[in-house]
Amino acid sequence: MSFTAAIIGRPNVGKSTLFNRLVGQKLALVDDLPGVTRDRREGRARLAGLEFQIIDTAGLEEIHDQSLAARMQEQTERAIEDADVVLMVIDARAGITPLDRHFAELLRRRASVPVLLVANKSEGRAGLAGAYEAFELGLGDPIAISAEHGEGLGDLFDALLPFADEETAAEEAEEQPDESEPAEEPVKPLQLAIVGRPNVGKSTLVNRLIGEDRLLTGPEAGITRDAIAVEWQWKSRAIKLIDTAGLRRKASIEEKLEKLSTADTLRAIRFAELVVLVIDAEQMMEKQDLTIARMIEDEGRAIVLAVNKWDLIEDKPKALERLKDRLQISLPQLAGIAAVPVSAATGASLDKLMSAVLAAETVWNTRIPTPKLNRWLAAVQERHPPPLVAGRRLRLRYMTQANIRPPTFALFASKPGDLPDSYRRYLVNLLRTDFKLPGVPIRVMLRKGANPYADKKD
């Protein structure tokens, strides 16, 4: 097990840029606007063969009320408590500020947590002067780097290496596993994205699932900006929960930062395997909810609806009936989608939600044998043959499943371009019903030609 390093510092000193540099990906949002990062974000850092856990945090500020900034401060303090070493980042070009001095004093009092002083933006003569000025903070020799340009990372490697050596020594002291038994391969975690409109309770839901206040929550809309991944287990199943920023209508998005947050959410959907779409039970499947659901369906991801704030609904049977009608009319391409009433505030029915998620995963990975598919196709054509094309019958010759995740089928026809969309939808609906594929996207690709296996010899 490697060590954990937390990146801290006042706003806009380049913490997220350093985080992205160390993990080798643009995971954290970066902008010139101070205070972009709110939740703490974790990642796997790699630096010249050295691997460790890295935590990006919100900018340190001197706040002691119940505001959003104060809650961000609490998240940063928790990151410091979880870390084996702290990287305090300063802006070498701006020089040492009173806020830098204040937090350096706080960190010096934390004798249990070693601190490395990192002077970022040290490229050029202006940055060099600020790096020398950093000696006065009393945190040891500053490590002059440029996170944006990748300069000075060799010195950072040398400073972090002793913490890796300590962890290695601790591991060697532990009891070694029996080498006669084959090692179990790690199970890949299920990538589960939590999406929805702003302020529907996505972060509260994630916190309730994992059993701790890992993510910032509050009455303010749009608190979450980054897509934050949290490792978790449910009934021994490894799951990576991905909390995302709320998705608003494109016409309502004007600020650059919200555009970046929206792009981050869309990227999280693309890389997810399953998606929980959180909707507000008091507003029950608005137009934007349907737009998000169709977007997820276009990406081919399995969807489960979490109808949140269910504890606030008085006439529950009537609300369920209204939701069922809305889904049937507006989302026929996801017929049978699981809709689970939950309360993130109280934790009600979260086990049912996760059971529905794993059931959807099973359906999403379903593979149907080719002989079974073709017997089904013959029966379907006998019961309801395709329409005539120019007075001639259109023949559906052969069908096979080309892929899973989502279930994707190749249908060979004599004239595939002439098959009406209505008949294709008819086939999809029958596939969903006859092979029990509720609530997942189903793809049917039309191909021209005869049975590709008909002339093959044994």
Tens-digit pLDDT profile for residues 10-28? 888 888 899 999 998 877 6
Classify each residue of 47-72 as buried b or exposed e, where b means 16 or more C-beta atoms within 10 Å of its C-beta.
Answer: beebebbbbbbbbbbeeeeeebeebb
User: Per the structure block, which two tokens stand in for 357?
Assistant: 């998620």
Nearest to 243 by CA among 264, 218, 273, 270: 264
State how far the Cα of 35 lies from the Cα of 6, in Å rounded to an integer: 17
State how far the Cα of 85 lies from the Cα of 116, in Å rounded to an integer: 7
State how far the Cα of 214 lies from the Cα of 208, in Å rounded to an integer: 9
State how far the Cα of 245 lies from the Cα of 7, in Å rounded to an integer: 22
Cα dist. 366→98, 100, 359, 454 in Å? 60, 56, 11, 25
Task: Tokens 């940063």: give the residue.
Answer: 76
Angle, helix 287-298 to helix 256-271, in steps of 10 degrees? 50
pLDDT one-digit tens code per residue, 201-222: 998 999 999 998 877 676 666 6
Task: Tokens 């309770």: give the residue.
Answer: 201
pLDDT of residue 28: 64
Extract the residue ranges of the chain whose pLDDT is less than 70.
1, 28-39, 59-73, 110-111, 126, 165-187, 216, 218-225, 250-258, 449-458
DSSP string, 295-363: HHHHTT-EEEEEEE-GGG-S-HHHHHHHHHHHHHHH-GGGTT-EEEE-BTTTTBTHHHHHHHHHHHHHH
> Which of the 8 DSSP states describes residue 145?
-
pLDDT of residue 16: 86
pLDDT of residue 246: 82
User: Per DSSP, what are the bridge partners of residue 280?
Assistant: 308
pLDDT one-digit tens code per residue, 336-372: 999 999 999 999 999 999 999 999 999 999 999 999 9
State how far the Cα of 39 lies from the Cα of 28, in Å rounded to an integer: 10
Three-class SS state of 281: coil
Helices (H) and strands (E) in the chain, counts: 12, 17
Three-state SS string over 47-98 comes to ECCEEEEEEECCCCCCCCCCCHHHHHHHHHHHHHHHCCEEEEEEECCCCCCH
Cα dist. 377→49, 278, 305, 310, 430 in Å? 55, 37, 31, 42, 10
Nearest to 291 by CA among 244, 250, 252: 250
The domains found in the chain, sorted by start residue, are 4-173 (3.40.50.300), 190-364 (3.40.50.300), 370-448 (3.30.300.20)
> At a CB cut-off of 8 Å and minimum separation 6, what does 303 contact?
274, 275, 276, 277, 293, 296, 297, 334, 337, 360, 439, 440
pLDDT of residue 175: 44
Residue type, 364: W
Q: What are the φ and ψ backbone dihedral angles of 454, each rounded to 5 degrees?
A: -65, -35
Determine how many CB atoms are found less than 10 A away from the CB of residue 324.
11
Classify each residue of 213-248 as buried b or exposed e, where b means 16 or more C-beta atoms within 10 Å of its C-beta.
Answer: ebbbbeeeeebbbbbbbbebebeeeebbbbbbbbbb
Angle, helix 350-364 to helix 202-210, in steps of 10 degrees? 100
pLDDT of residue 172: 45
> At a CB cut-off of 8 Å and minimum separation 6, what does 333 contact?
294, 297, 428, 441
Dihedral-angle region of residue 276 (phi above 0 means left; psi in -120 to 50 means alpha; beta otherwise): beta
Tell me the pairing of strands 115-120 and 396-403.
unpaired
State how far the Cα of 182 lies from the Cα of 33, in Å rounded to an integer: 52
pTM of the model: 0.78
Residue type, 206: V
